[in-house]
Amino acid sequence: MLLSFKNVSLVYKPDHQVLDRVSFTLSDSGFYFLTGPSGAGKSSLLRLIYQAERPTSGDISVFGEALDAQKKAELRRKIGVVFQDFRLIPHLSAWENAALPLRLMGVEETYVKSHSRELLEWVGVGHRLDARPDELSGGEQQRIAIARAVVTKPKLLLADEPTGNVDESTALKLFHLFDELNKLGTAVILATHQSHLVDKFHKPALRLADGRLKRF
Amino acid sequence: MSLPRHLFTPSFRHQHLGRSLAAIVGIMVFIATFAVAAEAVLLTAGYLWGRNLETRLTVEIPAVGDEATLPQAERVRQALSILRAMPQVAQASPVSDGDVTRLLEPWFDEPQLLKALPLPTLIDIERKPGADLSARQVGDALKPAVSDARVNDHGTWTKDIWKLVRGLTILGGMTIALTALALVIAVNLICRTVIATERETISLLHLMGAENIDIARHFQLQATHIVAKAALAGFCAALAIISILLFCTRNIADLSTLQWGHWFGVAFAAALVPACATVIAAVAARFSVMRLIEDFP
């Protein structure tokens, strides 16, 4: 089992319920959309998966194991995360940004270089290896962020509005890239409010509204 | 784990934080090197002087007037034979007139006046190692032959010197301890500032599965790199100034009792300062970062 939420609620303040008894199970390494309007709780749900938040109540299991029983750092090494604002380190080059997770894992430097460069080629920014993020377009930056998220071959890739800062044609290309990654064996949960793009892909979607799961 | 060496470099450069840290460390190492070198010289010289003086007594036989029954030379000869016969005495020898004059010269403007004065005869006594021989015992032994002889035990006033040396040592130790404390505080402050600037990067590293210890270790390496260079610079500057001061004061402070071996010891003690400063800064950086990022998401 990939992911399971059982009656998960998240409350920031007594009057601010972000998620309300959300329950669902994702059993295989598929491609899932997480949709809903802004403020529906999509990002919070993703944050719960990678342990940036703790649920107020309910149980979460990731990779078949209760979240509480897993060591945060170990779990995060199995999950790649892509953000809307890319979160690249501005003074590192494209390939250094992409290689960061490998270096954290203590992988041999020759492999780090070759693999991260290979991956950047694959995501389509092989010609900008030494460029700094501020020298790159939004689409290129997001491709590097995706490369960074999958460089360690994680079991699960979480993407939080990854196309929010790019134009529509780039967004479509990025969606195809996520689809390709999924075909290579990585489970993908992609949160987006761009329902017209979701409709172009025939993938299961979890729809959140006002903190509740409306459709799955 | 080998994160890029320059991962946090811009933050250290931001508002010259790295340079500020280097300047603080350089100044502190400079001060601490001074304190350690002075303390080492003081302790070594004090020990050597004390060891030399503690075994010695001086007998002063006042110059006699014309009315004396025995001439001065005879009084000195009798005193010497009594002293040399004492089992606790290793050696007793008169201080030459030339040496006595040299000792008194600094106190007289007119050398002729010194020659006209009736100077006492001094006898230098060296106790046998471990022998119990007080000034009073020597005085009592000399009384029948030279009743007006005065005996000075150098051990008595070396005790006062030792008190002074001990006081200065404590002062030096406190200076070193305060310098180390200030260094820890400075490193902590710089770490706080850099971490505040790098909050997002650290959160990102956490998201990638970095442990706090990984981040702290990387931070420590960067801080150590800056501190080691600054500490070395501070040490070299202090060594240069100390050498100049020793050269300029060679006529005032007589440190001729210190041999090459002693100077090597002093230099070694001083050389520990930059090494210790680097270790302290590294440990302080590591623990500061560990504490500061423990609540990061």
Q: How far apart are CA B225 and CA B222, in angstroms?
A: 5
Residues of chain B whose C-beta is under 8 A from some C-beta in A? Answer: 1-4, 6-7, 9-10, 200-201, 204-211, 214, 297
pLDDT digits (tens, 9 = 90+) for B245-260: 888 877 666 667 777 8
Tell me the HSE value of A75 on the side-chain side, using a 13 A CA sphere.
Answer: 22
Does residue A78 contact residue A154 with C-beta atoms inside 8 Å? yes
What's the longest Cα–Cα distance across chain B?
A: 104
Closest residue of chain A to B203, computed from CA coordinates: A52
pLDDT digits (tens, 9 = 90+) for A140-170: 999 999 999 989 889 999 999 988 877 888 8
pLDDT digits (tens, 9 = 90+) for A94-120: 999 999 999 888 888 899 989 999 889
* A70 plus A158 within the same structural domain: yes
* A87 plus A74 within the same structural domain: no
What is residue B163's predicted lDDT score, i.e. its pLDDT?
Answer: 84
Closest residue of chain A to B218, computed from CA coordinates: A104
Point out the domain boundary residue: A147, A167, A198: A147
Please report residues of A whose CB lies closer than 8 A to that of B208. 76-77, 100-101, 104, 148
The enclosing domain of A52 has a CATH number of 3.40.50.300
Q: How far apart are CA A49 and CA B44, in angstroms?
A: 66
What is residue A207's predicted lDDT score, i.e. its pLDDT?
Answer: 92
CA Rg value for chain A: 17
- Pairing, β A156-160 against β A79-82: parallel
Q: How many CB atoms lie within 10 A of CB B21?
A: 25
Provide the domain count of chain A. 2
Point out the domain boundary residue: A101, A118, A147: A147
* A107 plus A208 within the same structural domain: no
Answer whether A104 sits within 8 Å of B207, measured CB to CB: no
DSSP class of residue A52? S
Q: For the residues B167-182, what does the mean pLDDT come to?
A: 89
Q: How many CB pairs under 8 A join A and B?
A: 54
pTM: 0.71
Pick from B130, B137, B3, B119: which is nearest to B82 by CA?
Answer: B137
* A111 plus A141 within the same structural domain: yes
Average pLDDT, chain A: 89
* A159 plus A55 within the same structural domain: yes
What is residue B45's predicted lDDT score, i.e. its pLDDT?
Answer: 78
Pick from B83, B90, B66: which is nearest to B143 by CA?
Answer: B83
Task: Spell out the domain ranges in chain B.
Answer: 9-51+158-293, 63-148
- Report the percent of chain B where pLDDT is more than 70: 92
Structural domain span for residue A143? 83-147
Tell me the HSE value of A145 on the side-chain side, using a 13 A CA sphere.
Answer: 28
pLDDT digits (tens, 9 = 90+) for B258-290: 778 888 888 898 999 999 999 999 999 999 999
Please report residues of A whose CB lies closer than 8 A to that of B4. 92, 96, 100, 103
Does residue A103 contact residue B2 with C-beta atoms inside 8 Å? yes
Q: Which two tokens stand for residue A121?
A: 């080629």
Place A193 in a pLDDT band, splitting at 50, 70 and 90: confident
Does residue A192 contact residue A163 with C-beta atoms inside 8 Å? yes
pLDDT digits (tens, 9 = 90+) for B186-213: 999 988 888 888 888 888 989 888 888 8
Q: How far apart are CA B16 and CA B22, in angstroms?
A: 10
Q: What count of residues does chain A have?
A: 216
Q: How far apart are CA B236 and CA B246, in angstroms?
A: 15
* A139 plus A39 within the same structural domain: no
* A158 plus A139 within the same structural domain: no
Q: For the residues A171-180, what does the mean pLDDT come to?
A: 87
DSSP class of residue B66? T
* A4 plus A68 within the same structural domain: yes
Answer whether B200 sits within 8 Å of A104, measured CB to CB: no
Q: Assign a CATH topology to domain B63-148.
A: GMP Synthetase; Chain A, domain 3 (3.30.300)
Give the sign of the dihedral formed by CA A76, CA A77, CA A82, CA A88.
Answer: positive
* A88 plus A105 within the same structural domain: yes
Residue B286 C-alpha, separation from nearest chain A C-alpha, in angstroms = 17
What is residue B14's predicted lDDT score, i.e. its pLDDT?
Answer: 63
Q: How far apart are CA A29 and CA B215, in angstroms?
A: 32
| Residue to test with chain B: of A91, A102, A110, most B Cβ within 10 A | A91
* A137 plus A159 within the same structural domain: no
Point out the domain boundary residue: A147, A163, A192: A147
* A6 plus A63 within the same structural domain: yes
* A47 plus A102 within the same structural domain: no
pLDDT at A8 over 90: yes
